[in-house]
Structure formats: C-alpha cells, structure tokens
Amino acid sequence: MRFVLALLATATIALAAATPADAFDDGLARTPPMGWSSWNRFGCDIGEQTVRETADALVVGGMRDAGYRYVNVDDCWMAPTRDAFGRLRADPWRFPGGIPALADYVHARGLRLGLYTSIGARTCQGRPGLAGHESGDLARIASWGADYLKVDFCGANGAVRGDPAPAYARVRDLIGQSGRKLVLGICTWGQGLPWRWGPRIGHMWRVTGDIRPEWRWVLKIAGRNDLRARHAGPGGWNDPDSLEVGNRGMTVREQRAHFGLWALMAAPLIAGNDVRHMSRVTRRILLNRELIAVDQDRLGSQGHRVRRGLHEVWIKRLAGRARAVLLLNRGRRTAVLRFGIGRARRVRDLWRHRWRSSARTLRVRVRGHAAAMFRVP
Ligand code: GLA
C-alpha cells in the first residue's frame, strides 16, 4: 500500500512538472519547428523545381545547419481532381516527378518534407481536401515520406466548425496508424479555440487568420498570440503564422522586430520568403543564431508582454535562469526605453552580438517601428 501511495505521489509530481500539463510530447517538437513554407511568397505558383532549389539553398546558405529543417509545400501541390480510384495525386504539371521522388531529394539533403491539406472536401484554393477520404489520404501522404502535415480549415462544415477537435483528433489517430511520425500543424485560424485542445492533438496550432507583410498586422497577431502564452510548451506551440522576413511590405527594422517577437514567443520559425535569392540583410535576420537560440531554448517557455503601450517590454524565461528581453517601440519616433535588470550588471545585445554593461535600469534608444533585444545574462 505504501509503495502504491509513493508511486502515485511520484506520478503526480511528474504530471505537475510537465508544461503544459495536457500536452502530449512524442519528441517531434520539443522545441518550436523550424523550416520554410511556400505560401507567403509563392502562393499557388509552386512546383517541384522551386522546392528542390529551395532545399539546395537552405543547405548552401547555412539555414539547414541553423535549424531550418522542414521544407513545406503549402496549398496547390495536389491535382485539381482525384484519380479514377478516388486517390489523391500530385499536380502532374507542377510536380511531374511525384511526391516520393521529391521527398527523397529533400531527405538526401538532411531536410524534411512538409505537405498541406484541409479538413473539408476542398482546400482554400479549391483542391481536393480530406473530408470523406481521411484514411486513404493520410496513409498515402505518410507512405510518400512526408514528415510534416498542415491541416487547414477550409471546407469545414457546420459540425466541424462547432468543435473542430474531434476531426483533428481523427487526423492525429490516422497518422498514428500509418506508422510514420509526422509533425501535425493545426490551422483553424484560431477558430474553435485550438490552444485548448491543440496540445493534445498536434504540435502547433494557428492562433489567428493569415499573416500579411504589414507592421500593424504583425503587431496585431503578436498581441493575439500573447494571450495564449500559457498553452505553449515542449511538444506543442502556438503558431502566429510563418515569417514575412525578406518579403515586400516592411522596412528592415520592422522585419527585425517581427523576427525578434516570433523568437521571444517561441513561435515556429518558418521562413516565408524566397530563400534562393536573399539579400544579405534578410540572411542576417533569419540566421541570427542568438535569436534562434532564444526561440529554441529548451525550457520551452513562450515569452509574453509585461508592459503595454506605445513602448512595450516583452520577456521570455530561458534555461539557466536567464531571460530574453525585447524592447518594442511601436511608435514612429525614436524613444529611450527602460527596463530593470536587477543585479546582472551586463546584458547581451542579441542584434549587435556583444555584451554591454548596464546599471540596474537598462536604458536603450530604440528607433521608431523597431525592437531591441537582449539576454540577461
Ligand atoms: C489558408 C491558410 C494559409 C494558407 C492558405 C492556402 O488561408 O490559413 O496559411 O495555407 O489557406 O490556401
């Protein structure tokens, strides 16, 4: 009896220690997934040549080695119709070599392949979706060698809209039966409160509608994502959508702030630009190893906003009792932002890559529409 009680006590402590308590952690996403997705830059204009060249560029440009592993083909990879047996197939014009060959190509370079589908009968671009074909499609996608699957919300009928969790749980179970391990990206745009059930079902879940390469929009998404911070942790992550770094629409400072916020929020870092043709500035943002380390910190704590307004302070707890601090100037004018660092005496500037000594209150000039970022210590 005493033994049983001791066992129970240990089990309770173990459960209490897991963050968050209801996450299932199969080891696939202990830290936020990193990679690239076709959607933001290419939309439907995607084909196997671009995907292959992207895979090569990730390797040659050092992004793979910095952690960007998933090469995700978003909507439009599938043919507009199923074959005579009702089977899903790749678009023969865009992917003439087929998905298995593409998976081999990607795997041979130490990368992983991501695919896309939707919970309804049609994807957002009108291609065949899962509804009515769940077991066949998921078995096929797994057998082709995919490593990641984003499941969108287009075509969800009334029942699914009421509570998407059972439909997504079924996807999880069918993937489980396939015998292949896939990262499951849930994409209900925040509908059905996915942060509540996502940790039990998938590895990441979108918290909002689609990102746009606009400063105000990026800040809006960050604010929404912040509300869900406590639901993220090793195994499952809030997803504020893939990155707009390197795409048109934001200044360099705005793009740096965007990347910094995503890292501070332990968001999946999925590049959304054309990595085959990147400026040095874009490359420096995406390859900022100190920021990637903040995102990928093993504690897996999503940082959050501690001071709101025109000038904001965001903090993320890091392993080893360190913290990352982001000082955000949402306004147009340069401002001096302040933050108390206790007895640390110095901070690491994560954009300038150097230590800087500091009084108990760190004072930093931050230009308009920009963010400074530090680690203490
Ligand atoms: C939805 C998703 C996007 C993208 C498109 C593709 O809008 O939210 O991320 O996948 O569909 O059609």
322-341 pLDDT tens trace: 999 999 999 999 999 999 99
Looking up residue 315, the CATH number of its domain turns out to be 2.60.40.1180
Which residue range is the domain that position 92 belongs to? Answer: 20-295
For ligand 1, atom 6, the nearest C-alpha belongs to 75
For residue 71, which amino acid is it?
A: V
Nearest-angstrom CA–CA distance, 273 and 287: 13
pLDDT, one tens digit per residue, over 88-114 is 999 999 999 999 999 999 999 999 999
325 CB-contact burial (10 Å; exposed 0-12 / middle 13-18 / buried 19+): buried
The residue among 270, 295, 320 that closes a domain is 295
Nearest-angstrom CA–CA distance, 100 and 146: 8
Closest to 329 in 3D by CA, of 213, 248, 210, 215: 215
Same domain, 175 and 256: yes
Average pLDDT estimate for 299-318: 98
Average pLDDT estimate for 270-295: 98
E strands present in 300-369:
304-307, 311-318, 322-329, 335-340, 346-349, 354-357, 361-366
**pLDDT at site 159:** 72
∠ CA 44-91-135, nearest 5°, is 105
**pLDDT at site 22:** 63
pLDDT, one tens digit per residue, over 163-185 is 999 999 999 999 999 999 999 99
- The response to whether residue 191 sits with its C-beta less than 6 Å from ligand 1 reads no
Is the pLDDT score of 21 beyond 60?
A: no
List C-alpha distances in Å: 178 to 70, 85, 148, 328.
Answer: 20, 20, 13, 45
- The response to whether residue 210 sits with its C-beta less than 6 Å from ligand 1 reads yes
Indicate whether this model's pTM tops 0.85: yes
The residue among 264, 295, 326 that closes a domain is 295
- The response to whether residue 106 sits with its C-beta less than 6 Å from ligand 1 reads no
**pLDDT at site 158:** 76
- Where residue 8 falls among pLDDT bands split at 50, 70, 90? very low
- The response to whether residue 297 sits with its C-beta less than 6 Å from ligand 1 reads no
Same domain, 134 and 218: yes
End-to-end CA distance of the chain: 48
Residue of 44, 119, 151, 187 to mutate, ligand 1, most atoms within 8 A of C-beta? 187
Count of domains for the chain: 2
pLDDT, one tens digit per residue, over 203-236 is 999 999 999 999 999 999 999 999 999 999 999 9
Same domain, 178 and 197: yes
**pLDDT at site 18:** 41
Average pLDDT estimate for 152-172: 92
Q: Left, alpha or beta for 14 (phi > 0: left; psi -120 to 50: alpha)?
A: alpha
- Among this protein's residues, is 83 annotated catalytic? no
The residue among 295, 325, 342 that closes a domain is 295
225 CB-contact burial (10 Å; exposed 0-12 / middle 13-18 / buried 19+): buried
Cα of 303 to ligand 1 centre, how many Å? 26
Q: How far is C-alpha 29 from the geometric centre of its chain's CA atoms?
A: 10
Is the link from the previous residue into 33 a cis peptide, with omega within 30 of 0? no
Cα of 317 to ligand 1 centre, how many Å? 31
Cα of 29 to ligand 1 centre, how many Å? 22
- Among this protein's residues, is 152 annotated catalytic? yes
**Is 81:47 a contact under the CB 8 Å cutoff?**
no
- Residue keyed to tokens 């699957």: 149
- Tell me the percentage of the chain whose pLDDT exceeds 90: 92
Same domain, 336 and 187: no
Beta bridge partners of 37: 72
Tell me the average pLDDT of the chain: 94
Closest to 137 in 3D by CA, of 186, 177, 107: 177
Same domain, 347 and 239: no
39's tokens? 């959607």
**pLDDT at site 352:** 97
Same domain, 164 and 78: yes
Same domain, 131 and 39: yes
- The response to whether residue 74 sits with its C-beta less than 6 Å from ligand 1 reads yes
Residue of 40, 148, 152, 270 to mutate, ligand 1, most atoms within 8 A of C-beta? 152
Average pLDDT estimate for 350-355: 98
- The response to whether residue 187 sits with its C-beta less than 6 Å from ligand 1 reads yes
